[in-house]
Amino acid sequence: MGLPSGLHVIAEKARDLIHPDDRESAEQAWNSARADGKFEIECRVLAGGQIRWIRCEAGIEFDAEGRRVAAVGTVQDITERRKAEEALRRSEQRYQLLFEKNVAGVSISSMEGEILDCNDAGARILRI
């Protein structure tokens, strides 16, 4: 992920790694962990000169007075998953645009011949 192996990151230093646009939501998630002891967030970090997406999950340990004393959890690099999700979103948008705005009639039918979907031009042609 661009971080030194075995790096122990304390909360104050971790904040500096978080992308500036994600710091507020990360801090809100960290502060809300006080209620249930669970910290979960997906955010961008600046690591090794790159922007990477991470998923953090942690259990927060409290002392007798309710102060946070430790967090034990995991950090997973989800950059490739995020890239795949974005590519899928773009592909779906292109398909939807091609389907809906096509001047040719386009329809999707079941193997039994039932029309499941069609664009406006297809509806005009089929008079449905």
Q: For residue range 25-69, what is the model confidence (pLDDT) as tens digits?
A: 998 998 888 788 999 999 999 988 899 999 999 998 888 998 888
Instruction: Give residues with Cβ within 8 angstroms of 48, minimum separation 6.
Output: 1, 2, 3
Structural domains in the chain, CATH included, are 11-77 (3.30.450.20), 92-126 (no CATH)
* C-alpha pair distances (Å), 38 with each of 34, 35, 41, 94: 8, 8, 10, 38
- Tens-place pLDDT, residues 94-103: 999 999 999 9
Regarding predicted confidence, which is higher, 59 or 71?
Answer: 59
| Residue recorded with tokens 């509806």 | 123
Q: Which has the closest alpha carbon to 61: 38, 42, 41, 40?
A: 38
Q: How far apart are CA 41 and CA 72, in angstroms?
A: 14
